[in-house]
Amino acid sequence: MFRQSDPRDGKQPIKEREGNVVSTNPNRSAANTPSIIGGDVQLKGNLITTGEVQFDGRMEGDLHCGSLTIGESAEVTGSVVAETVIIHGRLKGTIRARRVRLERTAKVQGDVWHEIISIEAGAHIEGQFVHVDNPLETAPGRPVGAKPVVQPAASPASPEAPTNGGAPIRPTTPAN
């Protein structure tokens, strides 16, 4: 799908995988060189890198990166996982990031799991904000994408479980 040549010889692909674009070049410092994806790019699949990404195109898939900026003309459908996320454009999906900044032109449909959030006046959001200490994990020690731990329901004999002889408890309304 995508092919990147090794800068040492210009012939061998660094990494190619169906549906995913993965940055694996050991000679490139992710902190120095951001990946810029232009407005004319349409991507189907996942983009995974440890570096910085400026995304201005259209995408159906998940983005996992160190830092992400979604440009004003960009449209992304999928989940985003990053240390820092800045959104100017459209995102339909879940965001999990330590720092999230929604600019005035941002339009987000989905839940935002964050440690720090900033929302500029004019930004649109349809979803929930969830403040957590480490949004890059679903639970302490559990990476994003891991199946959630299901807690067993409280038994009627336990002190925290309400009892009513087995009948459902219904809320009561005060009489006037």
pLDDT tens for each residue of 56-95: 999 999 999 999 999 999 999 999 999 999 999 999 999 9
78 in Cβ contact with 59 (< 8 Å) = yes
Q: How many Cβ atoms from other residues are within 10 Å of residue 1's Cβ? A: 11
Question: How many whole angstroms separate alpha carbon 15 and alpha carbon 3?
Answer: 7
Give the number of domains in the chain.
1
Q: Which residues of the chain have pLDDT under 70?
A: 1-31, 138-176
Q: State how beta strands 137-139 and 142-143 pair.
A: antiparallel
DSSP SS3 for 150: coil
Residue-range definition of the domain harbouring residue 46: 30-143
20 falls within a domain: no
pLDDT recorded at residue 77: 97
pLDDT recorded at residue 79: 95
165 falls within a domain: no
What the block records as the tokens of 104 is 């005035």
